[in-house]
Amino acid sequence: MRSTTGEKLIESWLDKQTERRYQPAILQLLTAEGWTILHNTRHTALEYGKDVIARDPHGKLVAIQLKGNPGTRLTKSQAQGMLPQVLELLEVPVPETYMLSPNERHTAVIVTNGEVEEESLLEFEKIGQRTNQPISSADKLEVWGRGNLLARFRSKINNVWPTDIDGIRLVLEYHAKNGQSLVDVKDFSELLRLSVGVPSNETNSPEKNAKVASALLLGEIIKSPWYEAENHYALFQISILISIFCLRYCDSSIRLGVVKSYDNVITGHCLDLISEAQKKEFDAERSWAERSPLEEVDIMKERLRLVADVCATIVLSRCSIDREQSEFITKTLRNSIPSGSVWGEGAIPSLIVRYWAFRNTDATMMPDQLLRGAMYALVNATRGVPPNPPSPYYSFEECLYLYSGGQIGKASDINEDSSRNRSWFSTTILYLLAKRNWKQTCKNVWRTYSKILHVRMDMSVEHFYDAKLVRDGREITTPIYASDWNDLVLEAINNDDPGFPDGFEDRSWIIASYIALVPYRAWVPVVLWLDKNISKTWYDRQNPPRVTE
Amino acid sequence: MALSTISKLPYNERMLPNFPDVVEARGKINRAKIKTLVRSKAPMLGQIASHIVYEGATTDIIRDDGSAEETPMQQHSANIVIKVVPISEFTLEAVDHYLDEIAEQFAKSMSQAMHETISDAADKSGNVVDGQGQPISFDLLLEAFEKIQIDFNDDGTWSAPSIVVSPQQFERIMALDKSPEAADYKRKLDNLIEVKRAEYNRREANRVLAG
């Protein structure tokens, strides 16, 4: 490791983790080392004494049990107390589904983040002698203690440890956060750029492999304050941002595979959030507060939007959910889409993503009706009395500052940035409606829509993968007067190439979640590419409008 | 005043998405609104200078004669029921309605506590004029003024004491003010003030560091 500060950070992090807390990081460490994770019990109780089942880089089957000894030592009496669990680890075979051949034996590994006392090691050695007996499903017992883990974490984090003072400061700042707030996407992107970096033409394939795996590992360590606060939404945010950031390295199926292995971490955070919302009886239809409704009045609708964004991610990821979760998700999505919750253009990409998800769960016309409502609301608000919906570069808290006359929210330049008659996403929504053959709606809204100046960014796709604002590309403003229905539909179905490499199609749900988090990256071709992959529409490239003479 | 402690506890448990800065700012605004509303509902409270006791469980006044008087701390709280309503109906206007309800309860309990404190102090010092059910009159008012110690400003002007009365008694005083006896009352009051000024001057003359 290049920096003693970094070494201290890894030590400080490792010494504070319980076994459940450092399990995700262990998984990423193993992935970074070339292991294949077959199973982990992050969301369920300990299964047969095995928290993780994996294959090492040589193909050896390994069953791992984690033990948390944050800042302490694994004593002899603790080792003796673990005897029943260790016996299970040794003697109960891993499920057949993970075996390459019947009776395949595994290596049993006990992992602890504490120091292992010599007497404890002797205890484990004694227990480990059972692996010589035929009854044992394991052929070997290993113990990985604090020193082993630190060396391995340091070795991998070294690939992504920032070299300049700003990067080190950012990493330390993130490590010291209290985990209560949400993540600032611009700040976090800066952290990733300074630590992981962006690939150049000179970056070779092994370097790219190392960067991707280490970035995902770094992410798990940076998440520590939010894990501690069990702030599932922020964990979801960080995971999406890292996953998308790594996509810029994914010009090979191997690296794409590593990024895909992170998917279950993302859906895990989403399901944790949904589970917590259900436990707390979060109600999407009614006023709901964590503690004080009178103080949380300003954020109630926004909280609903964020919970619904997570629900949308689960729907679009197609991960398996039970009936109760499904009902919760449908209700939350349905109640989150009405246009009353739109505080600015920054909320529109999220609305579109929730619309896609809702359309997947509700076969009626209601989702389309809600999208039509959003279109009318947006163009009318843009043409209406100020304040008009601010541009997607402003966050909820900045917009709140505008609407409250500076009483509340986050101060910024928003007061000096007029958005009257300027819209970023009304064209996008119009395209979605056109592809769904809402011809009369498009015609009706055209008179107002065509009086608005339409703004979009023309920017290289390399900037898509993070939220850092760059002085590259150009902002294009387009006045509109008249058009033709067929031309409109053709624009909508042909403008769907954002420049992503082949193989990104199954990343659609993550990219959709990302544009909800970073709305100014919801470029028209990105949204239409997502629409093509996620949604079925009346018109598409295979079914263009018929040209009438 | 207990208002400053309303919901200031940090959010440190598991939580759904939150904006702690916004929530804290709204909390501050709400508390300021409640304080303003309390003052408008109980103007007497607004006239009393306030100070914050950062430490200690009580506050005592030890007078020149060695007598100690304790001003006990009291906690005032308000209870309201916040209804769960459709999210679109839970607006800032709805919040203002609840704040008004809270302020009403604070104004009532704090006014009551203030009157009880004054009444207790008056009972202890014997500064009580019992009207025995008779309507308020100039004589009763003069008797009350006679019993209290009155201080004067450095420029010699007089700050009239506040009189807390019921709406009926207020009407009665207004009527008395327009009655033919008002002029005589004013003359007697002026005389009384001069007596009080003389008493005040004597007290002030004693304000020396002898020796």
* Nearest residue in B to A233, CA atom: B17
C-alpha distances in angstroms, A189 versus A235, A240, A242, A266, A469?
Answer: 15, 11, 8, 18, 9
Beta bridge partners of B70: B60
Helices (H), A196-290: 205-222, 224-229, 232-247, 253-260, 263-279
- Output the pLDDT for position A529: 98
Does residue B187 lie within any of the structural domains?
A: yes
B chain contacts of residue A286, beta-carbon cutoff 8 Å? 84-87
Rounded CA-CA distance A362/A371 in Å is 13
pLDDT greater at residue A357 or residue A261: A357
Q: Which of B60, B92, B125 represents a domain boundary (last residue)?
A: B125
pLDDT tens-digit readout, B192-204: 999 999 999 888 8
Mean pLDDT, residues A460-475 taken together: 93
pLDDT tier, A549 (very low <50, low <70, confident <90, very high otherwise): low
Residues B21 and B90 grouped into a single domain: yes
Residues of B in contact with A283 (CB under 8 A): 84
- pLDDT given at position B26: 96
> Is B95 part of the contact surface with chain A (CB cutoff 8 Å)?
yes
User: Do residues B153 and B93 share a domain?
Assistant: no
CB contact under 8 Å between A293 and B91, yes or no, is no
Q: Which residues of chain B make contact with A294, given a CB cutoff of 8 A?
A: 7, 26, 30, 82, 95, 98-99
Residue B159 counted as domain residue: yes
Residues of A whose CB is below 8 A from B30: 294-295
Mean pLDDT of chain A: 92
The pTM for the full model equals 0.85
Mutate to test the interface with A, among B5, B18, B28 (most CBs of A within 10 A): B18
End-of-domain residue from the set B79, B95, B125 = B125
**Does B17 lie in the same domain as B91?**
yes
What is the least distance, in Å, from the CA of A302 to any CA of chain B? Answer: 9
Q: What is the pLDDT of residue A523?
A: 97
How far is it, in rounded angstroms, from Cα A448 to Cα A379?
7
Number of domains within chain B? 2
Q: How far is A516 from chain B (nearest CA, A)?
A: 15
Domain membership flag for residue B193 = yes
Give the CB-side neighbour count of residue B103, counting CA atoms within 13 A.
21
**Is the CB of A233 inside 8 Å of chain B's CB atoms?**
yes
Is the same domain home to B66 and B94?
yes
Could you tell me if residue B199 is inside a domain?
yes
Residues composing chain B? 211
- B209 contact A CB<8A: no
Residue B41 lies in a domain: yes
- B98 touching A (Cβ < 8 Å): yes
CB of A325 closer than 8 Å to CB of A276 = no
Residue B4 Cα, gap to closest chain A Cα (Å): 14
Q: Residue B3 has what pLDDT? A: 39
Is residue B90 less than 8 Å (CB to CB) from chain A? yes
Q: How confident is the model at residue A47 (pLDDT cuts 50, 70, 90)?
A: low
Please tell me which residue of chain A has the smallest CA distance to B31: A295
Mind giving me the DSSP string for A487-537?
A: HHHHHHHH-----PPTT-GGGHHHHHHHHHHSGGG--HHHHHHHHHHH---
Report strand pairing: A474-478 vs A453-458: antiparallel
Cα-flanking dihedrals φ and ψ of residue A500, to 5°?
A: -75, 145
| pLDDT tens figures, A274-288 | 999 999 999 999 999
pLDDT tens per residue, range A100-116 = 998 899 999 999 999 99
- pLDDT tens for A310-352 read 999 999 999 999 999 999 999 999 999 876 667 999 999 999 9
**pLDDT score, position A370:** 94
Judge whether residue B164 has pLDDT over 90.
Answer: no
Domain-located, residue B179: yes
Question: Does the pLDDT at position B163 exceed 90?
Answer: no
Digit-coded pLDDT (tens) for A376-414: 999 999 999 989 999 999 999 999 999 999 999 999 989
Q: Does A181 touch chain B (CB under 8 A)?
A: yes
Cα gap A208→A210, rounded to integer Å: 5
Task: Give phi and psi for A107, each to the nearest 5.
Answer: -90, 130
Task: Based on the fold, state whether residues B45 and B102 are members of the same structural domain.
Answer: yes
Q: Are residues B142 and B192 in the same domain?
A: yes
**Assembly ipTM:** 0.82
B5 pLDDT more than 80: no
Asked if residue B196 and residue B144 are part of one domain, the reply reads yes
Assess whether B121 and B21 both reside in one domain. Answer: yes
Span A281-309, pLDDT tens digits: 999 999 999 889 999 999 999 999 999 99
CA–CA dist B198, B201 (Å, integer): 5
Tell me which residue in B17, B24, B26 faces A303 most closely, judged by beta carbons: B17
Tens digit of pLDDT for each residue in A11-20? 888 988 887 7
Same domain assignment for residues B56 and B147: no
- pLDDT value of residue A157: 86
Is any Cβ of chain B less than 8 angstroms from the Cβ of A301?
yes
As a whole number, mean pLDDT of residues A361-368 equals 94
The reported pLDDT for the residue numbered B57 is 78
Q: What distance in Å separates the CA atoms of residue A435 and residue A531, rounded to the nearest whole number?
A: 9
Amino acid in the structure at residue A536: K
| Same domain assignment for residues B10 and B81 | yes
Asked if A411 is an interface residue toward chain B (Cβ–Cβ < 8 A), one would say: no
Do B15 and B87 belong to one domain?
A: yes
Q: Give chain B positions within 8 Å (CB) of A335.
A: 87
Nearest-CA distance A245 → chain B (Å): 23
Q: Tell me whether residues A285 and B82 touch, CB distance under 8 A.
A: no
**Residue A441, pLDDT above cutoff 50:** yes
Express each pLDDT in B44-72 by its tens digit.
888 888 888 888 878 888 877 888 878 77
Residue range of the domain that includes B60: 2-125
Residue B187 C-alpha, separation from nearest chain A C-alpha, in angstroms: 54
Whether B131 maps to a domain, the answer reads no
Task: Give how far A403 is from chain B: nearest CA, Å.
Answer: 12
Q: Which residue from A140, A79, A138 is spatially nearest to A114, judged by alpha carbons?
A: A79
Contact A410 B21 (CB under 8 A): yes
Cβ-defined contact of B87 to A301 (cutoff 8 Å): yes
The tens digit of pLDDT for each residue in B112-154 reads 998 888 888 778 777 788 878 888 888 888 888 888 888 888 8
pLDDT at A133: 87
State residue A191's pLDDT score. Answer: 93
Distance CA B131, CA A344 (A): 66
User: Does a structural domain hold residue B59?
Assistant: yes
pLDDT at position B7 is 42
Same domain for B143 and B41? no
Q: Which of B101, B125, B149 is the last residue of a domain?
A: B125
CB pairs under 8 A between A and B: 118
